[in-house]
Amino acid sequence: MSSPETALLADLIRCPSVTPAEEGVLAILEAFLTPLGFECTRLKFEGGSSYPVDNLYATRKGNREGFHLLFAGHTDVVPPGDLDAWTHGPFSAEIVDGVIWGRGATDMKSGVAAFCAALLKAHDSGVLDHGSVSLAITNDEEADAVNGTRKLMEWAQAQGEKFDFAIVGEPSSFEIFGDSIKIGRRGSVSGRVTVEGKQGHSAYPERARNPMPALASIATTLDAPFDRGTEHFQPTNLEVTSLDTGNPASNVIPAKGTLRFNVRFNDTWAGETLLAEIERRIANADLRGCTARMEVLGPISKCFICPPDGSVATLRKVMEAYTGIAPNLATGGGTSDARFIADYCPVVECGLVGATMHQVDERVPVADVEKLTGLYAKIIEAFMTGDGR
C-alpha cells in the first residue's frame, strides 16, 4: 500500500500542469487539505503583461497566539521535451524499483506532497492545534512569476496574515538528503545594450562607423570583476549571453548591433546601484564614435539573506537530529519564489536533492520523499510546540 505522500505525489504528477496550465492539480491539494481543517481559497491573478495564473492559499488556525508557519511551493512544471526520450511517460507517475518517474517528481511536486503528508501526521497527533500553518501554492514559478507568489503574498498581507517563518520546498540538498538549506539567493537582472553606428562598405571603413568593435569593448569592460564576494555569497558575475547584428553579408559594415547580458549579484549591490555601475562601464568603453544605450529586460530579482540565528538555527537543530547531518547554509543557484516571501518573514528553502530536475527522465526515490515527509513533520512539531522564533 502506498504511503500518503507517495499516493499524493503520483496524483500530482499525473496532472500535466506545465506553466500556467493548472490541469486540476490545485483541486487535488484542496481535497487533501480540507479534511485536515484547512480553509482553502482559490485565487486567480492576472495582468502585468502576463497570463492569468491559478493559485491556492490554505490556512489552518489553531492557537492564534502561537507560531505561524508558512509553506510555499509550486505545482507548475517545465515542459517535458521530447516525449520519446522518456523511459517512462513524463506524466505517468510510474513507480519502478522504488523510484517514481515524471515531470515534477523532484521540482517540486515532491516537496508539496511531502509537506501535505506531514500535515496529516501533525493533524492526527494534535500538533496543529498549538499554532497556525498556511500554504501558498502557485502554478507560475517556472516561467514569468508575475501572477503567482508575489501577488499571493500581497493578498495574504491585505487579509491581515502575518507569518513567523517560511519554508519553500524547492530542492535544496546538494549531494545527499539534508546536507544543505538555502538561506538566501543572489539577485538577478538582465539587459540589452544597443550600439548605433553607420552602415557602409567594408572596403571603405572611413565612410562608416562599425558598432562591432564598440560592442567588443563593452563586452570586455562588463566582464571585469564587480566584487570579491561577501560572507554568505559568491562574487557577482555578469555573463554576456549574445552578440548580434542580424547582418547576413560579409562585405557590409552593419549599422547597429546588440549585446545581451545577465547578472547574478550578491548583497554588495542593490539592483539600482548595480545598473548604475553597468551604465558607468558602458560610458567608459571605447565606442569608436558610435552611441550606446542600455535597457533592462524584465523585472529585477533582488538579493536577500535570512539571518542564520533564530528560526534558522531551530531548523538546523531539527534537521541534524533527524538526518545526522548539520546542513550547510547555502545561497547558490538561481532565483526562486523565496525572493517574494523575504519581504514578509524569514524564509529558507529546504527540500530534496535536485539531481534530475528539468531533465528528461526526472525521477525521485520514493524513500527520499518519505524521508522528507518525516523531516517536515519534525519541523512542524518543533515550531508548533517549541520556540522557533
Check the annotation: does 84 bind a ligand: no
Q: Are 338 and 168 in contact (CB under 8 A)?
A: yes
Check the annotation: does 170 bind a ligand: yes
Give yes or no: 141 in active site. yes
Pairing of strands 39-47, 132-138: unpaired
Burial class (CB in 10 A: 0-12, 13-18, 19+), 270: middle
Of 5, 11, 140, 141, which is the active-site residue? 141
- Looking at residue 169, the DSSP 8-state letter turns out to be -
Q: Are 268 and 236 in contact (CB under 8 A)?
A: yes
E strand map for the chain: 39-47, 50-61, 68-74, 95-96, 99-101, 132-138, 165-168, 180-182, 184-185, 187-196, 200-201, 237-244, 252-253, 256-265, 291-301, 304-305, 328-330, 347-349, 363-365
Check the annotation: does 272 bind a ligand: no
Check the annotation: does 107 bind a ligand: yes
Check the annotation: does 362 bind a ligand: no
Q: How many residues does the chain have?
A: 389
Q: Are 169 and 141 in contact (CB under 8 A)?
A: no
Rounded Cα distance between 385 and 214, Å, is 62
Give yes or no: 320 in active site. no
Of 11, 22, 76, 368, which is the active-site residue? 76
Q: Are 259 and 196 in contact (CB under 8 A)?
A: no
Binding-site sequence positions for Zn(2+): 74, 107, 142, 170, 358
Binding-site sequence positions: 74, 107, 142, 170, 358
Q: Which residues are catalytic?
A: 76, 141
